[in-house]
A and B are shown apart, each in its own frame.
Chain A
Amino acid sequence: MGMIEAILLTVITAATPLVLASIGELVTERTGVLNLGVEGMMVMGAAIAFAATQVSGSPYIGILAGIAGGALFSLLFGFLTLTLVANQVATGLALTILGLGVSGQIGEPYVGMSGAKLQPIEIPVLADIPFLGPLLFRQDIIFYLSIALVFGVNWFLFRSRAGLKIRAIGDNHASAHALGIHVIRTRYLAVMFGGACAGLAGAQLSLVYTPQWVENMSAGRGWIALALVVFASWRPWRVLLGGYLFGAVSISQLHAQAFGIGIPSQFLSALPYAATIVVLILISHNRRMTLINTPASLGKPFVPDR
């Protein structure tokens, strides 16, 4: 395997959790709900997936547990913001704080254990294509899922009737309600989809990327995923693009450290966070574009009159 291939492989591994968490949050935000708890759901997914893998011995059960854990945990956010109309920003923060605490509890017995790494699945024929084969077709299932999800969400949002309803709710929840669209129910489902995707992203961290359990191992990726949704202006394809750009940035700092160039490692580690800020500045500078693309009901509470 060549040098470039090796680097690209690590980029893919670093980008996958970002793509997964962002695509889930994108669907949530398209219904007008801003869930800032991605970091918490992600780290919960990581802890649950790792624990389930250790207990069952199968990383696939771990993945399923991570997805289910993220989705169930997001229900807490849904209940507060959708049923009790609590402030979405504050509740999202609460979800993150709680997620970091609970995941620490769940993961505590497993600190320092080495995990069962998820094995790649070779796709026959395609895996033998030079260069691209090992990169794209000898990957683990979570990578395939992440790409399928981007395709799927793009088709779902812009080609299906249910996706049309989601866009309608995000644009104007009062009108959607008046037309008989189930606003709250749809939002619950979208929040849970976001939670499931974040849980899967967490599972990738503890089963593929690291693979072990480390406290707070999401290390801000949930927040970066939130920024990516803005960067992508709520379009699935751009999530893929943004995810890989950020994956490349966070990997480049590791490689730079390995090469031992004269920059302190802390500065290189700060690179993804600084890059997030820079990207946010670049996007928000175009106020007109942000205004047009942002789902109009994003973050606004909805209480149906009955």
Chain B
Amino acid sequence: MGSPLLAVRSLTKLFGTFAACNGIDLDIQPGEIHALLGENGAGKSTLVKMLFGVLAPTSGEILWKGSSVRIPSPGAARRLGIGMVFQHFSLFEALTVAENIALSLSPGISLSKVAEEASRLSHLYGLPLDPKAHVADLSVGERQRIEIVRALLQNPELIILDEPTSVLTPQEADRLFETLAKLKAEGRSVLYISHRLEEVQRICDRATVLRHGKVTGACDPRRETPASLARMMVGSDVASVSAAGTGARGEVLLEARHLSVSARTPFAVALRNVCLKVRGGEVLAIAGVAGNGQGELFDALSGEYPVADASAVFIRDKAAGNLGITARRLMGAGFVPEERHGHAAVPGLPLSDNLVLARNQSDRRTFLSGGVLGIIRQAVVRIASRRISETMDVRKSGEDPAAGSLSGGNLQKYIVGRELDRQPAVLIVNQPTWGVDAGAASRIRQALVDLAKSGSAVLVISQDLDEIFEVATEIAVISEGRLSDAYPARELTREKIGLLMGGMYGKTEGEEAAHAY
């Protein structure tokens, strides 16, 4: 092995007393695709933010082509030859593609030059883009292309990609891998951050694994098995979820009939003629790439934004389309939204208050007293809150801490447990394990499967195909606000789901195929 392009020596980042990165060592060779593996919270993002000058290291050393460097800002990183594609895109919706790209270039270049160069590069690497388009109007895949082109315009020797495929369809991901292969062939290096073992094994030459801020392994991913990689990431074997589907199917408990919702804001997706049925004992999973109407579907099914047509949604055989969320809860439904902070929970309030948040009417008799005064029985609420924490194994500091002080996984366990605690007949969950560590994710998935086995109807909206195959009995795909037919989970492959995500609807909507590539 020659001298590395980038080397990191015992790099440490402390937030207060918490070590997000603790003595990290890492070598990236010229012309290799190097994977950085780890769970959420393992310190991957903190590490690359230090490499890109967004965060300042507490101690340690970064070597670029053998000499020690200090990277005080993203500008400095770019001058060295490091480009970055963020997981949460650093794009500006109100600006055009060209303006977005210009922002990361040296100020001397005119906007028209930027546009020219951007379209040249985008064609060279197979990433078509219109420089004059406003970002707000673009799909997630197109937005990622801007990020990549923006990084390529700097002619970088090292490109860092943070979880790039988490927002792509399998087909879009394949195209990305082709682009990466081109970059590698030109002698550039890629630092590829992911928690998806399958794709790491497919495209990466070497891998460094992080856990709790420390390097726990460096290996050639092709020589490992998914199980051995997972062990390095998680530190122990993760309990596999025992799937549903064996239980008996009951009656239809949740149904949407030709549910259509027009876009509420300029940035929203309209739902078009969505039909679905979930029976007791079933887990219907709705797959789809982010931004295709998942949030809007959740809003309409939960009743946070009811629709005018009562018969668009049925809960336990009663028309509920025009009813609000409280009425739907009283009919036996429970809801877990995607966003934990500021939707499912108020981060500044203690857990017990966040229990009242979801159950102030469904458990009115238990939690409230004083008739119209509506006095909250805080002692009773605390007992219920403790019960939920114990059942779901929620790790927290103190008896009743603020929701915002819990880790993502623990808060999500609490939020899911809050609904399970009242044994809902219908449970609707949006992205149940987004940003959650593997242990908590498996626990939550098992809880969803168990609820279905006990006879409830469970609807899971998810972007994570691994999760979907773990929990679902039936699978449908949402794309541009339309929902495909539901198929039994056993009959579907990833490729078929990918085609549905691209908007191919088979028999009824053949013309949509023109959209897919």
Partners in one complex: yes
Binding site for B on A (CB under 8 A): 161, 164-165, 167-168, 171-172, 174-181, 288, 291-292, 295-296, 305-306
A172 touches B103 (CB 8 A): no
Show 22 residue pairs from A and B whose CB-CB distance is below 8 angstroms, ordered by the A residue: A164-B102, A165-B103, A167-B92, A167-B94, A167-B99, A171-B95, A172-B91, A172-B92, A174-B90, A175-B89, A175-B91, A176-B103, A178-B86, A178-B90, A180-B53, A180-B75, A181-B103, A288-B265, A291-B265, A292-B266, A296-B93, A306-B55
Complex Cα gap A180–B55 (Å)? 11
Closest to B265 in A: A291
Known: A161-B102, A180-B74. A171 touches B55 (CB 8 A): no
Interface residue? B228 (CB, 8 A): no
Q: A167-B92, A180-B54, A296-B94 are in contact. List 19 more A-B contacts (CB 8 A).
A: A161-B107, A164-B102, A165-B103, A167-B95, A168-B92, A168-B95, A168-B99, A172-B90, A172-B91, A172-B92, A172-B93, A175-B90, A176-B103, A179-B104, A180-B73, A180-B104, A292-B94, A295-B94, A306-B56
| Among B75, B89, B91, B99, contact of A164 (Cβ-Cβ < 8 Å) | B99
User: Which residue among B15, B56, B95 has the maximum number of chain A CB atoms within 10 Å of its CB?
Assistant: B95
Closest to A161 in B: B107
Closest chain-B Cβ to A287's Cβ sits at a distance in Å of 9
* B residues less than 8 Å from A174 (CB atoms): 90
Within 6-33 of B, Cβ neighbours of A (below 8 Å) are at 15
Known: A175-B91, A296-B94. A168 touches B74 (CB 8 A): no
Closest chain-B Cβ to A163's Cβ sits at a distance in Å of 10
Closest to A177 in B: B54
Closest chain-A Cβ to B120's Cβ sits at a distance in Å of 22
User: Which residue among B55, B90, B104, B266 has the maximum number of chain A CB atoms within 10 Å of its CB?
Assistant: B90
* A residues less than 8 Å from B89 (CB atoms): 175
Q: How many contacting A-B pairs (Cβ < 8 A)? A: 60
Closest chain-A Cβ to B118's Cβ sits at a distance in Å of 15
Contact with A along B105-125 (1 / 0, CB 8 A): 001000000000000000000
Closest chain-B Cβ to A63's Cβ sits at a distance in Å of 32
| Among A161, A175, A177, contact of B92 (Cβ-Cβ < 8 Å) | A175
B interface residues, how many (CB within 8 angstroms): 23
* A residues less than 8 Å from B56 (CB atoms): 306
Known: A175-B92, A180-B75. A164 touches B266 (CB 8 A): no
User: Which residue among A168, A177, A295, A305 has the maximum number of chain B CB atoms within 10 Å of its CB?
Assistant: A168
B94 touches A171 (CB 8 A): yes
A178 touches B54 (CB 8 A): yes
Contact with A along B267-284 (1 / 0, CB 8 A): 000000000000000000
* B residues less than 8 Å from A177 (CB atoms): 54
Binding site for A on B (CB under 8 A): 15, 53-56, 73-75, 86, 89-95, 99, 102-104, 107, 265-266
Complex Cα gap A296–B265 (Å)? 13
Complex Cα gap A180–B73 (Å)? 6
Top 3 closest pairs, chain A to chain B, by CB: A180-B74, A175-B90, A178-B90
Closest chain-B Cβ to A55's Cβ sits at a distance in Å of 42
Closest chain-A Cβ to B156's Cβ sits at a distance in Å of 15
* B residues less than 8 Å from A172 (CB atoms): 90-93
B103 touches A168 (CB 8 A): yes
Closest chain-A Cβ to B254's Cβ sits at a distance in Å of 32
* B residues less than 8 Å from A178 (CB atoms): 54, 74, 86, 90
* B residues less than 8 Å from A296 (CB atoms): 93-94
B103 touches A291 (CB 8 A): no
B92 touches A288 (CB 8 A): no
A171 touches B93 (CB 8 A): yes
Closest to B107 in A: A161
* A residues less than 8 Å from B15 (CB atoms): 305
* B residues less than 8 Å from A305 (CB atoms): 15, 55
Complex Cα gap A171–B56 (Å)? 25
* B residues less than 8 Å from A176 (CB atoms): 90, 92, 103
Complex Cα gap A217–B247 (Å)? 78
B103 touches A179 (CB 8 A): yes
Closest to A165 in B: B103
* A residues less than 8 Å from B92 (CB atoms): 167-168, 171-172, 175-176
* A residues less than 8 Å from B73 (CB atoms): 180
* B residues less than 8 Å from A161 (CB atoms): 102, 107
A179 touches B93 (CB 8 A): no
| Among A165, A167, A179, A306, contact of B90 (Cβ-Cβ < 8 Å) | A179
Closest chain-B Cβ to A187's Cβ sits at a distance in Å of 16
* B residues less than 8 Å from A165 (CB atoms): 103
Closest to A175 in B: B90
Closest to A178 in B: B90
B90 touches A288 (CB 8 A): no
Complex Cα gap A180–B71 (Å)? 12
* B residues less than 8 Å from A306 (CB atoms): 55-56
A164 touches B103 (CB 8 A): yes
Complex Cα gap A288–B95 (Å)? 17
Closest chain-A Cβ to B88's Cβ sits at a distance in Å of 8
Closest to B86 in A: A178
Closest to A159 in B: B111
* A residues less than 8 Å from B99 (CB atoms): 164, 167-168
Complex Cα gap A305–B94 (Å)? 24
| Among B53, B86, B266, contact of A291 (Cβ-Cβ < 8 Å) | B266
* A residues less than 8 Å from B103 (CB atoms): 164-165, 168, 176, 179, 181
Complex Cα gap A158–B453 (Å)? 59
Known: A180-B74, A306-B56. A288 touches B266 (CB 8 A): yes
Complex Cα gap A176–B75 (Å)? 12
Complex Cα gap A161–B73 (Å)? 19
Closest to B91 in A: A175
Complex Cα gap A175–B91 (Å)? 6
Closest chain-A Cβ to B509's Cβ sits at a distance in Å of 29
Complex Cα gap A164–B54 (Å)? 21
Complex Cα gap A154–B131 (Å)? 22
* A residues less than 8 Å from B90 (CB atoms): 172, 174-176, 178-179
Closest chain-A Cβ to B76's Cβ sits at a distance in Å of 8
Closest to A174 in B: B90
* A residues less than 8 Å from B74 (CB atoms): 178-180
